[in-house]
Amino acid sequence: MRIFKYSILKLVCFLIFNYSRGMIFIEIVSQLTKPTQVSDLKNQIIALQAISENLEPSEAERNTYIEKVNAYTNKFINTIDSVNAFSGEPEAPNVFAITNQKKTIDEILELYADEIATKGINAASGGHLGYIPGGGIYTAALADYLADITNEYTGMYFSCPGGVAIEYELLNWMKSIFNFPKSAIGNLTSGGSIATLIALTAARDKHGIKNAKIEKSVIYVSPQVHHCINKALRIIGLEDVIIRHVELDSYSRISTNDLQSKIEKDKAEGLFPFLVIASAGTTDTGAVDPLQTIGELAASHNLWYHIDGAYGGFFILTEGKKDKFKGIELADSLVIDPHKGLFLPYGLGAVLVKDKEAVYHSNHYRASYMQDATGDDNIPFNPADVSPELTKPFRSLRLWLPLQLHGAEPFIACLEEKLLLTQYFREELVKIGFEIGPEPDLSVSYFWYPLKQGDENNFNDELMQEIHNDGEIFLSSTKIKSKFVIRMAILSFRTKMETIDRAIAMIDKSRKKVENN
């Protein structure tokens, strides 16, 4: 019995001894093979962490930052009506250089105020009546703030089901506004140009426009069509298609007689017409092309029908103008821009397309590293399958949140108000001696100062420059049949009757100044 006990003790001692020798052996080997010691590695990580932690401000710091940004943005909004809408002054040299010198939030906000917010076009100002304004409603910024903090990834349903569901809700809402079928698909893009790219790529693929076919393929557009169409055609390899500029009537709308005869002639000559583009509000003059008749022509000739409603589309929501949009539902693809007609800050366009397969052809792709995220091929589709974008910010929230907070009514009232302000502006211009373009379809119009003698184009060009020098209100110009005219585009939610009164006073003052030069 004792011997037995002794043997066990010897065995245990033997095992422990050999185990510890083994451990020492392993330790020696690992010391020899590893370049750094474990404790060194940890120390390095800890040292880096002390620096990288700066990217996660403390709650106290977050509060300081947000209070200061809030104070600045409040002041910006509170004083916006007394600040010029335009300054031609460039930014000061080198103020934005990236150096090793850090800045405080106060310094950054000061730089922002001096060098960014007060130079160029003040796009948030109601006095922005140039190009196509929108304003940028405050509550959309709150949505961006939330979306940026939680950093939702909305390219894939898998990664943010709720965020993608909101995108679908908004697209469905737009389908119902424009009488598109539920089966249409769509995408919320960064703007109208990318939305156009998606639409025209679908048109190209639906009609198989490639290789030798390109040079015989024909597209029909208004000469006033937005240049994002030309850019998109070049990007998607259709630079060499034949582009027919259709004649316009006196309201700058596409002449459907001319369109019809051009299509028929091209067909008779063995060419391949495949796409017609109409505008629901051109940038130049706000003209709404005869959407219904063009749609019927497109259908009878088997052309893809694209409508650019980036500027004007949402005026369909108004009582006064909804009839002008009859036929918009005939489009195969439609582009609309909530950062114009729904007054959002820049960064939200939309495209609706009826033919899902045509869109998928270029944008739907399965990579093996996405296998967890892609799931069922059909329902719900991923936004990344409809767009060149994969990683996508949660941009639907910036429209959804304001619509939920305010309801749709103020948006529609704002659009109605813009239409009446356009009428008011035109009447006041006539009172101070200007001539005005034809009754506008929507809220873009143009005017010029008539001269009894002298170069009228030159005078109005100088007047435009004088208006830019003044800067209180911002207007831009264009040429209508080689006539220099000044445009007014009333679409900012901050443009009010008082803004128009200030614009009239400023235009009158500028005109007198040019006359006395």
Ligand X SMILES: *Cc1c(COP(=O)(O)O)cnc(C)c1O
The least CB distance from residue 386 to ligand X, in Å, is 17
Q: How many helices (H) and strands (E) does the chain have?
A: 17, 13
Is 448 one of the binding residues for ligand X (CB under 6 A)?
A: no
148-154 contact pairs (CB < 8 A, 24+): 148/393, 150/394, 152/393, 152/394, 152/397, 153/391, 153/392, 153/394, 154/383, 154/392, 154/393, 154/394, 154/395, 154/396
- Taking the least distance from each CB to ligand X, the nearer of 444 and 486 is 444
The least CB distance from residue 446 to ligand X, in Å, is 15
- Taking the least distance from each CB to ligand X, the nearer of 129 and 156 is 129
Is 402 one of the binding residues for ligand X (CB under 6 A)?
A: no
* Beta carbons within 8 Å of 155's beta carbon, 6+ residues apart: 382, 383, 384, 389, 390, 391, 392
Q: Which stretch binds ligand X (CB under 6 A): 69-77, 118-126, 136-144, 308-316?
A: 308-316
Q: Give, as ranges, the residues between 8 and 37 that touch ligand X (CB under 6 A).
A: none
Q: Where are the beta strands (DSSP E) in 392-496?
A: 435-436, 444-448, 476-480, 483-489
Q: Which helix (H) or strand (E) is 427 found in, with range?
A: helix 409-431
Q: Which stretch binds ligand X (CB under 6 A): 137-145, 187-195, 412-420, 445-453?
A: 187-195
Q: Is 202 helix (H, G, I), strand (E, B) or coil?
A: helix
The least CB distance from residue 88 to ligand X, in Å, is 22
Q: Please tell me the count of residues contacting ligand X according to CB under 6 A.
A: 13
- Taking the least distance from each CB to ligand X, the nearer of 207 and 306 is 306
Q: Which stretch binds ligand X (CB under 6 A): 26-34, 76-84, 156-164, 307-315?
A: 307-315
Is 192 one of the binding residues for ligand X (CB under 6 A)?
A: yes
Is 308 one of the binding residues for ligand X (CB under 6 A)?
A: yes
The least CB distance from residue 223 to ligand X, in Å, is 14
Q: By rule CB under 6 A, what string of x and - marks binding of each residue 328-357 to ligand X?
A: ---------x-----------x--------
The distance of Cα 421 from the centroid of its chain, to the nearest Å, equals 25
- Taking the least distance from each CB to ligand X, the nearer of 136 and 463 is 136
- HSE toward the beta carbon, residue 226, CA cutoff 13 A: 29
Q: How far apart are CA 331 and CA 279, in angstroms?
A: 11
Q: How far apart are CA 273 and CA 105, in angstroms?
A: 57
Sign of CA dihedral 384, 388, 390, 395: negative
Supply the DSSP string of 72-120, one letter for each residue.
HHHHHHHTGGGS-SEE-PPPPTTTT---S----HHHHHHHIIIIIITSE
The least CB distance from residue 231 to ligand X, in Å, is 9
Q: What is the dihedral of CA 496, 497, 499, 502, to 10 degrees?
A: -170
Q: How far apart are CA 503 and CA 495, in angstroms?
A: 11
- Taking the least distance from each CB to ligand X, the nearer of 156 and 232 is 232
Q: Which stretch binds ligand X (CB under 6 A): 164-172, 191-199, 252-260, 397-405?
A: 191-199
Interface residue with ligand X among 311, 400, 425, 449 (CB under 6 A) is 311
Listing from the earlier edge strand, what are the strands of the sheet with 435-436?
Answer: 435-436, 444-448, 483-489, 476-480
Q: Tell me the pairing of strands 435-436 and 444-448.
A: antiparallel
CB distance 477 to 116 below 8 Å: no
Interface residue with ligand X among 132, 241, 397, 491 (CB under 6 A) is 132
- Taking the least distance from each CB to ligand X, the nearer of 337 and 472 is 337
- Report the amino acid identity of residue 263: I
Interface residue with ligand X among 85, 171, 228, 316 (CB under 6 A) is 228
Is 134 one of the binding residues for ligand X (CB under 6 A)?
A: no
- Taking the least distance from each CB to ligand X, the nearer of 132 and 342 is 132
The least CB distance from residue 279 to ligand X, in Å, is 6
* Beta carbons within 8 Å of 475's beta carbon, 6+ residues apart: 129, 130, 464, 467, 486, 487, 488, 503, 507
The least CB distance from residue 227 to ligand X, in Å, is 8
* Beta carbons within 8 Å of 217's beta carbon, 6+ residues apart: 207, 209, 238, 241, 242, 271, 272, 273, 274, 275
Q: Which two tokens stand for residue 517?
A: 């030069």
Q: By rule CB under 6 A, what string of x and - marks binding of each residue 136-175 to ligand X?
A: ----------------------------------------
- Taking the least distance from each CB to ligand X, the nearer of 337 and 385 is 337
- HSE toward the beta carbon, residue 366, CA cutoff 13 A: 9
Place of tokens 């821009």: 337
Is 310 one of the binding residues for ligand X (CB under 6 A)?
A: yes
The least CB distance from residue 311 to ligand X, in Å, is 3
Q: By rule CB under 6 A, what string of x and - marks binding of each residue 414-433 to ligand X?
A: --------------------
- Taking the least distance from each CB to ligand X, the nearer of 337 and 462 is 337
- Taking the least distance from each CB to ligand X, the nearer of 191 and 383 is 191
The least CB distance from residue 66 to ligand X, in Å, is 29
Is 284 one of the binding residues for ligand X (CB under 6 A)?
A: no
The least CB distance from residue 308 to ligand X, in Å, is 5
Interface residue with ligand X among 187, 193, 201, 396 (CB under 6 A) is 193
Contact footprint for ligand X (CB under 6 A): 132, 191-193, 226, 228, 279, 283, 308, 310-311, 337, 349
